[in-house]
Amino acid sequence: MKFLIPVLLLALAAVSYSSVLSTARNNVNVGIVRPGDRLLRSATVYKPPRANTIQYEDFVFNGSRNTRISAINATEIGVRQFPSAYILRGGVGANNVTIRVQSARGRGYNYSIRIYGR
C-alpha cells in the first residue's frame, strides 16, 4: 500500500507530461519585427495527407538587392499533423530565404508563412 500512492503519482505525472509534449507545434519564429518593417510576403503552404508518403515543399522568397529580412514566421494552421518546417538557405539579415515544410509519413501540412523586413 505504501508503494501504490507514489506509483500512481508517477503515472499521473508521466501522462500529463506526455500530453504537454504532444501539443507542441513545430513553428519557425526567427527575428524581431521592428518599427519601420513591413510585410514582404505572406503565403499559405498546404498539402493534403497521402498514404504512406513523406511530402515536402520548398517555399522560396527572393527580395531585391536592397531588401533585408528582419523576421520570419512559419505557423502551423489547423489540426496537428506533426509536420516540420525549417530554414534551408538565407534568413534574417539576407535578402532571400528558403523554408522547407515537410510532412510526417502519411500526413499532410498547412502552414502560414510571413516574412518581414525593409
Task: Give the phi and the psi of residue 36 in degrees, each rounded to 5.
Answer: 100, -15
Give the pLDDT confidence of 1-38 residue by residue, as tens digits.
Answer: 566 565 555 555 554 544 444 467 889 999 999 999 99
Mean pLDDT of 48-52: 94
> Does residue 108 sit in helix, strand or coil?
coil
Give the pLDDT confidence of 60-94 residue by residue, as tens digits.
Answer: 999 999 999 999 999 999 988 999 999 999 999 99
Task: Give the phi and the psi of residue 7 in degrees, each rounded to 5.
Answer: -65, -40
**What pLDDT, on the 0 to 100 scale, is given for residue 25?**
81
Hey, where are the domains in the chain? Answer: 26-117
Cell of 63: 527580395
Q: Could you please report the per-residue DSSP string of 39-100?
A: EEEEEEEEE---TT---EEEEEEE--TT--EEEEEEEE-SS----EEEEEEE-TTSSEEEEE
> Does residue 18 sit in helix, strand or coil?
helix
pTM: 0.76
